[in-house]
Amino acid sequence: MATQSSPLHMLFFPFLAHGHLLPMVDVARFFALRGVKCTFLTTPANVTYIEPTIDQSNKIIKSKNEPHLVPISISLISFPSAEVGLPEGLENASFTSNHQMRQKFFQTCLLLEKPFEQVLMEVNPDAFVSATFFPWSADVSARTGIPRLVFNGTGLLARSAQKKLEQIIESLPVDTDKFVLPGLPHQLEMHRGQFMSPTTNREILSMFKRISEMDARSYGEIVNSFLELEADYVVHWREVVGRKAWLIGPVVLCNEEYIEKSSRGGNPSIGTEDLLQWLDSKHPGSVVYICFGSITNLNTSLEQLMNIAIALEESDRDFIWVVNSSNLEGYDDWLEGFEQRMHKEKRSLIIRGWAPQLLVLNHPALGGFLTHCGWNSTIEAISAGVPMITWPMSGDQFFNEKLIVEMLNIGAAIGIKEGPFVENRQLIEAETIKCVIERVLGEGAEGEAMRKRAKELKEIAKAALQEGGSSYADLDNLIEELLARRNSV
């Protein structure tokens, strides 16, 4: 048994996808820099994506030369891909290319319960942080007596809105288009087509319901956000929903050095020196960055992709466009022609695969971010002081758009009313895309106000992590509470 003077020991087990692995590594660094012994658990194939960041974290920890700081260690758990028919070595959801593969991936995750319990008993931490997509880890917590903290990977506005949606979705009339989520601090008007139908997606919605129930059984949640960003929803979550939450973000701000921003998540698909040279040649605030995330399938037609391209070309803006090759099957020839045309004009960089997003967002040339509103991208843009053009695809992204556009006033919406499960989705015209880009990057009063507010939020985010800041205090409070709990046993 640990003594009162021994450090708190935490184990971190994120969902196996880039958007969960990377922020969890940052979370572990924050704990380690407060004197917590941290063990990071993942599968063999995912080590390559987290190792550079963990190595850099440990370099910083060692450089402080403080005896109470312990380097982060990595433990491994096998991922039985072959048992459900996945290719050997496919251990990251970011590399699943279709719905069937993703279903198999989630099935494989269910097989991790017993191996995880075995690892947990061997490591014997004082508490563990696990992904919301590992709901069975709440049962492991109950069996072992080791408290589970949930890492959901989104903010509390989205968490609160999702919980309300779960409560009312079945009672909504079938012909309802617009509806307002009741009982929240703000009036959030949503569209029915943005969410799964309870009649045609009952199995998936049942899974999400179970996840929510298991999260409620856990000790509490760690949230990659900060009080000042969504204060009303922090109060709502703690006092109305009645669940513990500690906001310790934005955790991405621990990545301060060039090496951290350039290597985070693995090797980028473009030389970082070439990327920076291109950005350095552009005027401040002039470049549009387009990226729809590491998993998101644009699920769209060649016509929609062409409309995005036409809007970029006609906007006369320089741009960086990150494309997922698996989403462009059959479109390569068209994209190559567009790329060659833009390259001649020195207006664009098209990146196929992984991009060093932190380098791009934090460069002075960046003026706006066309984003799918995933929480990582949202919080990274906020931390960099970059306004957004919002193009949500599914789930919490529609709620994040509400935060960006309606509450924080740091972005403008493209106008997406349907999720990926709607057949014949609306086509967003090139002129619409172009106009929204100009609203954000243009010289008008609206764009200027967005950019000013985005810069103010960047400074507030930084302050939250400093000693005396809201996130700094929340992390301290959590560590003290876990120590008190351990020492009282």
Is the peptide bond between 250 and the residue preceding it cis, with omega within 30 degrees of 0? yes
Q: Which residue has the tokens 């070595």?
A: 89
pLDDT (0 to 100) of residue 328: 55
Is 60 exceeded by the pLDDT of residue 3? no
Domain locations in the chain as residue ranges: 9-253+463-488, 264-462
The H-assigned helical ranges of 150-221 are 156-168, 202-216
The residue type at 18: H
Question: What fold is seen in the domain 264-462?
Answer: Rossmann fold (3.40.50)
Query: For domain 9-253+463-488, which architecture applies?
Result: 3-Layer(aba) Sandwich (3.40)
pLDDT > 70: percent of the chain: 93
Q: Please give the average per-residue pLDDT across 142-147, as a whole number.
A: 97
Count CB neighbours of 177 within 10 A: 10
b/e string for 230-263 if b means 16 or more Cβ within 10 A?
beebbebbeeeeebebbbbbbbbbbbeeeebbbb
Which 3 state secondary structure label does DSSP give 241? helix
Q: Please give the average per-residue pLDDT across 97-113, as a whole number.
A: 87
What is the tens place of the pLDDT at every residue in 206-247?
A: 778 888 889 999 999 999 999 999 999 999 999 999 999 999
Phi-psi region of 150 (alpha: psi -120 to 50; beta: other; left: phi over 0): beta
Is 90 exceeded by the pLDDT of residue 52? no
pLDDT (0 to 100) of residue 295: 57
Angle at 389 between CA 160 and CA 344, to 5 degrees: 150
Q: What is the mean pLDDT of the chain?
A: 89
pLDDT (0 to 100) of residue 326: 54
pLDDT (0 to 100) of residue 2: 40
What is the tens place of the pLDDT at every residue in 56-84?
A: 999 999 999 898 999 999 999 999 988 88
User: Does the global pTM surpass 0.85?
Assistant: yes
Q: Please give the average per-residue pLDDT across 122-142, as a whole number.
A: 96
Measured CA to CA, the distance from residue 227 to residue 155 in angstroms comes to 10
Is 80 exceeded by the pLDDT of residue 180? yes
Range in 94-103, 214-223, 278-287 with the lowest mean pLDDT: 94-103
